[in-house]
Amino acid sequence: MKFPISLILPLTLLCAVAFAQTPKNAAEECFDRGIEYAKKGDYARAILEFTVAIKFNPNYVEAYTNRGYAYDMRGDYDNGISDHNKAIQLDSNYAMAYNNRGYVYLKKGDYDRAISDFTEAIRLDPKFAEAYNNRGYAYDKKLDYDRGISDYNEAIRLNPNYALAYSNRGFAYAIKQDFARAIADYESVLRINPNDRWAKEALEFLKEKMNK
């Protein structure tokens, strides 16, 4: 994707004061703004900020992988993968870049590549709970629920308040018709996030199944 010069120039001007100090500081200011836009779900502006940060610092690994994530959230998977590739090229030990690229492959339905990337992220960072959860979901997509559950177990061990891992494990247990364990997991989700609508509906459905 190419952005009109009229869009890029105002952002460059926003960083001009910082640039008068050092390019590194300018890049960090733009990067921080990009993070804030991404948190708000404004991925278009996040992409522009990360792009300017990269202009100031072409080796800014975190800017590449976060811009890649923003592209992913807009459904622009090719540009997302390209940015994650660049981040990995700059730092082959950056676990987050492998995790984020794996997530794109997961969305594209390329489950084997996704699992490979999540596995590499875990090798680089054995305490990466999100990578375990994501790999578990990829295994679920391949109908390998036992491996999925094993990864969710590890994600939950690393982060006992990881609601998504409980939800994913609950779903896997439900598919295996282990309703008691599925119910326990969805109850854990609601303990962490009392307003989780999906967990409430799943819990109601599973309790009905148990009572039949």
pLDDT by residue (tens digit) across 41-58? 999 999 999 999 999 999
Ranking 22-36, 94-108, 186-200 by mean pLDDT, the lowest is 22-36
Give the domain 93-160 fold: 1.25.40
Does this chain's domain 1-90 share its CATH topology with 93-160? yes
CA distance 204 to 84: 40
List the chain domain ranges. 1-90, 93-160, 161-212
Share of the chain above pLDDT 70, in %: 90
* Residue (of 174, 75, 95, 27) closest to 84 by Cα position: 95
- The Cα–Cα gap between 165 and 161 comes to 9
Whether the per-residue pLDDT at 105 is higher than 70: the answer is yes
pLDDT value at 123 more than 90 = yes
How far, in Å, are 21, 23, 126, 187 from residue 195 at the CA level?
47, 44, 31, 12
Per-residue pLDDT tens digits for 162-210: 999 999 999 999 999 999 999 999 999 999 999 999 999 999 999 888 7
Assign domain 1-90 to its CATH superfamily. Answer: Tetratricopeptide repeat domain (1.25.40.10)
- Round to whole Å and give the CA distance between 97 and 95: 5
Residue 212: band (very low, low, confident or very high) from pLDDT cuts 50, 70, 90:
low
